[in-house]
Amino acid sequence: MKVLANDGIAQTGVLAMEDGGFEVITTKVAQEQLIPYINENEIVALLVRSATQVRKDIIDNCPTLKLIGRGGVGMDNIDVAYAKEKGLHVINTPAASSESVAELVFAHLFGGVRFLYDSNRNMPLDGDTKFKALKKAYAGGIELRGKVLGVIGFGRIGQATAKIALGIGMKVIYFDPFLEESTIKVTFYDGQQLSFALESISKEEVLKASDFITIHVPAQKEYVIGKKEFGLMKDGVAIVNAARGGVLDEVALIDALESNKVAFAALDVFESEPIPEIKILMHPQISLTPHIGAATKEAQGRIGSELASQIITLLK
């Protein structure tokens, strides 16, 4: 049986599936060529990440296909309900990338409070001629310790982000309509563990009380953070979106940055991905990464292994 990992897969996953009796193909097939390729090669499982779209046309026209797998959490690029209605297995790896996304959030936060996103743009240009001016410009940083982190969406990634925040001495508050209370266990390198009991509060309360806000929700039909929500925030707040493009109103974000309501923002995902708006890309107060939240070697290894395990269980 053949598996097409169209957006790539870690070698751990390839080896595990091969040991399970599957042939794994990692050729990148163009979207418009997927249907004939799947049919000609009698592909039984199609694995994707965020690039490949698996819509009704593929589901209807590929009779050999028995399983669709998403390496990661969100499955908005797959017609999940329709695939299941047609009898296909649809799987993902919700736990594999949580820590990697959480660490990226804090990479942005640490860089943000010390202006690294801007300093790294300007030091190569002016560091040899305007060193003292740049030193003065970037001398007003703050610490994360003791500040309030508001988490919008408290699933696996939101909780992994909270663990880091608690570990460095931040206060964590959260809003999640599906999780009224949660116990966060922070485990240290020597096996010691501390537990923190948290309760969900209203989104409005989170927005008003937070020094930093991070979004961890699935794709939505409407903005989770828009003009109204920015109006509720503290002056000088910072916000991170490493969830999905379209949950944060980028036009409202630019306005909030220009009015100094928001001190800085960090985006790993974008409304118009994969072609982010120039105003976003060029803004001096936005820290940017190209949708790499789960793109660590460790996370990709876990994703590959988890996909392989599910495929072997479901199709053998």
pLDDT digit string, tens, across residues 107-116: 999 999 999 9
Q: Are 211 and 234 contacting, i.e. CB atoms less than 8 angstroms apart? A: yes
Topology (CATH level 3) of domain 2-92+297-315:
Rossmann fold (3.40.50)
Question: What is the band of 99 on the pLDDT scale with cuts at 50, 70, 90?
Answer: very high
Domain residue ranges of the chain, discontinuous segments joined by +:
2-92+297-315, 98-288
Q: pTM of the full predicted structure?
A: 0.89
Contact 173, 210 (CB under 8 A): yes
Provide the terminal-to-terminal Cα distance of the chain, rounded to the nearest Å: 10
Q: What is the pLDDT of residues 14-34, one digit of tens each?
A: 999 999 999 999 999 999 999
Homologous superfamily (CATH) for 98-288: NAD(P)-binding Rossmann-like Domain (3.40.50.720)
DSSP 170-205: -EEEEE-TT-SEEEEEEE-TTS-EEEEEEEB--HHH
Condensed to tens digits (0 to 9), the pLDDT of residues 30-63 reads 999 999 999 999 999 999 998 899 999 999 999 9
Location of structure tokens 């970037």: 138
Q: Tokens in use for 294?
A: 């789960």
Domains 2-92+297-315 and 98-288 share a fold: yes
Separation between Cα atoms, residue 95 and residue 300, nearest integer Å = 12
Asked whether the predicted pLDDT for residue 95 surpasses 90, the reply is no
Residue 61 backbone phi and psi in degrees, to 5: -110, 10
Catalytic center residues = 244, 273, 291
Task: Tell me what the mean pLDDT of segment 64-81 comes to.
Answer: 93
